[in-house]
Structure 1
């Protein structure tokens, strides 16, 4: 794989483009329209009517999950079946790529990526990959191992489960941080006071079961404290419902 066409202009494409370029790959970004300045995209950009200018060995579809099928169908009218094609979704089967292409796979970084943000170091970002054919698997394995020290070959079902776990561990936890932030703000309490305990909880995690580190009122059965907390949430029934649900989950672990 020497020439890569990266389809998309969002967070994933923004982060992948320079990483691939740094590995001596010739990267071109295909966008619906060029909006960002070239300073933000240190690789060549093209739009759809310029596709005849590129001959990629690898297509990477860094697009929304529901766009993988339609976009790969459109690309199937331009590029030959032998072209390697990947998407970057954790929750979508490799088979969502149009069946015109013989070598379909997945490259999914387990990381919350925000355009303009920094991933440091990229070599410590877990990369999940999958390939339907041995030809693609060998080439993709070499690529991901060049990008990261943490690589995992997982099939569609395993990857979907891992995506669910990442949603719980990352997106849901961040939503709980936001709940705490709002409560602090209402009482003029600095949210910064919670940052050390947030960091400590994350940093003590190991490959073993996280319940080893569980503490708090629900864990020790302190119903008096839990009732006081719920009284504080009387005017916020949605937060109170979350508190009850999570407390019950902790008590039953």
Structure 2
């Protein structure tokens, strides 16, 4: 597939996992920045409510379908996406490629204890990986510029952000280029999974698009109601989109510019 697909007014890149990895390695090779955004059902719902999040995600160089529900919605809404490109799977593929190719990486996110546990497991799994540096994800907005400069000084060519939305998207939009990393990838709760703090759903659950349910069963009080509400909102959003598609931000901007010129 070539060109972007518009889904819920968001432009997504219809890439497979292999194609995405190839794009990332090309960015490192060419020294050109590549900021990656991933969306699942919950994030697409939240982007309707949070303009800063919507702009940060839409401004990424690649926007990928992280959730199986997004792939299914693409089929229903005639905006087909070849497959799900899960953020954690892309994360692991890039770590393997970085180890093989000697690409230095930086980890930013999670609590200090979780980060340290993850680093130990990463070192065991990818013993030849060059870790240029790491830092926990607890900092004030006023520290962002200093953190970005520290990453730049480390020489990291791949930066992985283990932070929640919208913090990681906003950091990427504001300081991704300043970090000097060729690839900037927000991996959300992947640090917790690699550290063994949370468990990822079995592959059978993933194929059925039930990762959210597996997470909710692990933390029912914190996540149960949130996931049910978000999923209901996503289904309603999909039904509305089937009747009246939302134009992409790019198309809306072009239409506005055309209207202004004709006045």
Q: TM-score, normalised by structure 1?
A: 0.33
The higher-RCO structure (CA 8 Å, 6+ apart) is 2
Higher alpha-carbon Rg: 1
Higher percent of residues as helix: 2
